[in-house]
Structures are given as structure tokens and as C-alpha cells.
A and B are shown apart, each in its own frame.
Chain A
Amino acid sequence: MTASYPGAHDRTFLDFIAARELRLPFDPATGQALGLHRRCAAAEWRPAAGTGTVLAFTVTRRQYDPGFPVPLVHGLIALDEGPTLIARILEVTPAEVSAGMAVRAGFDSHGLWFGPCQEPPHAAA
């Protein structure tokens, strides 16, 4: 395993995460969130609501890294602002996770994680 040295875009995102903040790059011209794959020097890093929806999930059963005990649940999360990312889902058993589930962000020693929303955030929608 070799670690690549992250560039400014990556470092900005990870530094906010280390400070327990989820911020996303926004295009100042359109006001829209940029996907995390885009490197845009003019991006404004704005706080995200920290809420989103599980598009898909996996349950890792084979132990790859002792720092991440199994079973280990990950979600492909669509944040309410539009960007997607893959992150751990905690506070639920694998059987309790489902696509479409509403989640909210939390932080631990590994960084960002998501757990189920106590109440559906889009009950009115």
C-alpha cells in the first residue's frame, strides 16, 4: 500500500474532516455544489448540512485492516447538497441498512461516518 500525497483540493477536504467539519466545494458562479472529483481553484468550501441518503451499501466480511473490524458497513451516500461519497455507516447492524435510508454525519477517530437519522429529514417531501 502506497499513500499518494494529496493535492490542495484533497487536503482542504481532509483538513476540514480532521477538524470534524464536513464542507463541500461550491461553484461561486452558479451557487451549485461541485462533485468531489472536480478540482476547481475558485471553489468556495461551504459547510454541508451533513444529511443524505444511502444509494447503495456493502458489508465487508473479510478482514483487510485490523483498524476496521468486520462486519463493516459502507454506504454510497448522496448528500442533500448533491455530491456523493463512500463512507462508513455505524450504529446499525448490517441487516438494518437499506438503500433509501436517510442518514446524518458524525465524526470519530477515523474521520467521517454516517448513522441513521432519528427522524426522516424529508417527512414533508
Chain B
Amino acid sequence: MGTRGREPIAAITGLGFSQMSRAPIGTVRELAGAAVLAAIADAGLSVADVDGLLLNRSPTAAAEELPLLLQNDLGLRDLGLLAVIDSEGSSAVQMVQYAALAVRHGMARAVACVFSDTPVKSGSAGNTFAIAMPLSGIEGWERQQGFLGAVAGYAMAAQRHMTVYGTTAEQLGAYAVACRRWAQANPLAFLRKPLTLDDYLASPFVVEPFRVLDCCFPVNGAAAVVVTAADRAADAPCPPAYIHGMGQGHRGRTGLRDDEPELHIGAVQAGRAAYRSAGIAPSDISQCQFYDAFSFAGILSLEAYGLCPAGEGGRFVADGHTAPGGPLPVNTGGGHLSGYYLQGMTPISEALIQVRGQGGERQVRNDIVLVSGNGGCLDYHASLIVSPHRGLGAGAAT
């Protein structure tokens, strides 16, 4: 452990969900409102105590679906902080970061941060995510080439990893199986039926090398958190999650051969910055809550955040390190594949449940939790280090 006596940047004291469902249950705005109210109540606050609101709209939703007007829906007055944070899959973690900075510096006292989305239309979300990602650098190029779906971009990156490092279908499958095992102990998870590697290998391809079971499980719903100054956090009804580290990394693309945005990602920078600000090393991490909309994203995150050597993520997972009983639990709620796909709020919400010790059968060591957000096609990264401990000095992680 590095520096002793470090004060946390801020604390997360409230967590709230709307209903979550594969059926239509309301608009993005309605669900967002429900989640914010639940989070405020969970933090032991009233609406009048909240003076900051940050919104995270899905990249697939229209801007007007989650407007700043949510403030008025909820009766929030005289806010000192109000913004839409729009950095794709890294937005939820970024909201918490900006909320933490705001409360740390006195711009606001209690900031609600919410993500809400309704991607599942008529029983399927396939068409919602059939967007063309701007991977080659020419606007409209991927559409002209019929290269559609976030799944295609991630599948290409995964195939590159397989080519360069020898990552296998069985290793991708091991990731999906580990997530399912965690999900089986999570009452909030949507996919809890036992899953074997053979089941995985028998599931149909969407975009090779990805099968259906390599992809996230979209749901309609919203989740929100409340961030307050660390000094006020002890008054909250639930144990606070102290924020000790924060980082971002957005590597950029050149479109030249020696640049490999499929393998070398900004999570490296986001991780180093978060570790540095928390005064810790990757080896101090007790558990990870990753943004893993595709199996490969979880595997690559292990490498980029320095938890296993580059290229070894597949083997690391297949060896059982991240599964229940393993030494480095990853996505203990089932993550995006088997839990629920609420984009960046999935890893944040599970981190809070674990930090509070409310994980039930899936509760694991929670001293230092790494939380990640990942947007674009591995382009935009943000991370948090959270802990139930106010100080991360010597002894905190023992």
C-alpha cells in the first residue's frame, strides 16, 4: 500500500433502481425519475437536500428522452450542478467523478447521478444496437460496408486479440460461464439458469467470433446514485462507498497500422490515474466491477487495468481467477452478460452492493473495488477506486 492517511475524494451514499424489465415499463424519463427518488431515499435524504443532478442518456436514445427537465419532474430547486454527461459507456463513471469533484470543492452537497434507457422494444433490443460505429474514420463508411452493430466492432477487436495472442473461443466462453455463476446468486440478475461451456459453444453466432452469450443482456430500466462529501457520509443509513481514486483514458485513433485500438486501450491510462490517486497498485484490488457489454471487453479490461499480463486475459479467466471462489472476483452480480445491461450503472451498482456487504451468497472481499466504464468501441474509459474504508492506509486491505 502506498500513501497513508489519504482522505477519500467523496462518498457514494445512495443507490436506487427503477423497475427493470424486458417489457415496456415507462419512458426513459419516468424510469430515471423513479431511480433518482429511490437513490435519494436510500441515502436518507429528501429531495430538498439534493442540489446537483447529472444525467446519462444511452448513445442509442434521442437527446429529448432524458432532458434537463428531469429536474422539474422531481421538484428539484436551486441546483448548483446540472448537466448531461455524454461520453458513451464511460458516462456513468464520469458522472460519479464530476459529482465527487463538485462535492469535494463545495459546488454541491448531494449530487444525484442517473442512467436510464429503454432499449428493449417489442421483445428484442437487436435493432436498437444495430448502429454503425465510426471505426475507420470516414463518416458513413461502416454503414456503407454493412458493418453494423456494436457487436461487430467488438467482435473484430476480439478476433484481433485471438490472432495476436491466441485467445480462444473456450476462453471467451469461460468468461461468460463465470459471469453466469455469479449471476446465479444475484436476485437482480436476469439470466440465472446454470450455463456450461458446452451450452456456450452451442449458442448461435451473432458476429463471429461472438455468440449470443458473448453479448450483454439489455433491459429497460434506470439506476441512480447519490454522491456526497466524505465528511457527511457517515450519517447515511447504509455504509458509504468512499471514492479514493479516479481516472480517465481516451486514447484516440489514427487509422494507421501501427496503432492498434483493438488491443491498446485507454483503460491503461484510466487505471494508472486511478491507482495513483488512490495510492494503490493493481495487486491491491480485491474485486473488479467492469463495464463488460461483451465477454472480450471484460477479458481485455483485466489486461489493461494491469491485473494480468497483456494477452493473458483469456487464460487468466479460463484458469478460474475471476469466477466464484477465485482470487480476483470480477462482475460479481453477473455483469452485463448475465445480470442486467444498464451500461455504466451496472458495475457501479454492484460495487455499491458489495461495498455495503449486501452481496448475500455472492459477497466477497470488498476492501478495494475497481469500477470501470467503457464507451465507443473500447475508445472511452473511466474508472473509480471505491472502498468501505475511509482510509486506505496500512491494514485496510488485510
Q: Which residues of A contact B (CB under 8 A)?
A: 1, 3-7, 9-10, 13-14, 33-38, 55-62, 64-65, 67-68, 72, 74, 76, 78, 82-88, 94, 99-100, 110-112
Contacts and interface: CB of A to CB of B under 8 A. Distances in A.
Contacts of A38: 137, 254-255
A6 B148 contact: no
Nearest to B210: A58
B257 A64 contact: no
Given A56-B156, A58-B155, A62-B126, A35 B146 contact: no
Residue of A6, A62, A88 most packed against chain B (CB within 10 A): A62
A2 B262 CA distance: 26
Interface in B252-274: 252-259, 262
B126 A85 contact: no
Interface string B37-56: 00000000000000000000
Interface string B144-170: 111111001001110110010000000
Interface residues of B, number: 42
Nearest to B204: A61
Contacts of A6: 138-140
B160 A7 contact: no
A40 to B, nearest CB: 12
16 contacts: A1-B132, A3-B143, A13-B138, A14-B144, A34-B256, A35-B255, A35-B259, A38-B137, A59-B205, A61-B204, A64-B148, A65-B130, A68-B148, A74-B146, A86-B142, A111-B145
Nearest to B259: A35
A36 B137 contact: yes
B211 to A, nearest CB: 9
B146 A88 contact: yes
A58 B126 CA distance: 18
Contacts of B132: 1
A70 to B, nearest CB: 9
A64 B149 contact: yes
Of all A-B residue pairs in the complex, the 7 with the closest CB atoms, nearest first, are A35-B255, A68-B146, A36-B137, A37-B137, A56-B160, A59-B208, A35-B254
A64 B129 CA distance: 10
Residue of B136, B143, B157 most packed against chain A (CB within 10 A): B136
A9 B140 CA distance: 12
B101 interface: no
B135 interface: yes
Contacts of B130: 1, 64-65
Given A76-B156, A94-B208, A4 B139 contact: yes
Contact of B140 (A4, A74, A78, A87): A4
Nearest to A52: B257
B196 to A, nearest CB: 22
Contacts of A82: 256-258
Given A62-B206, A99-B159, A10 B146 contact: no
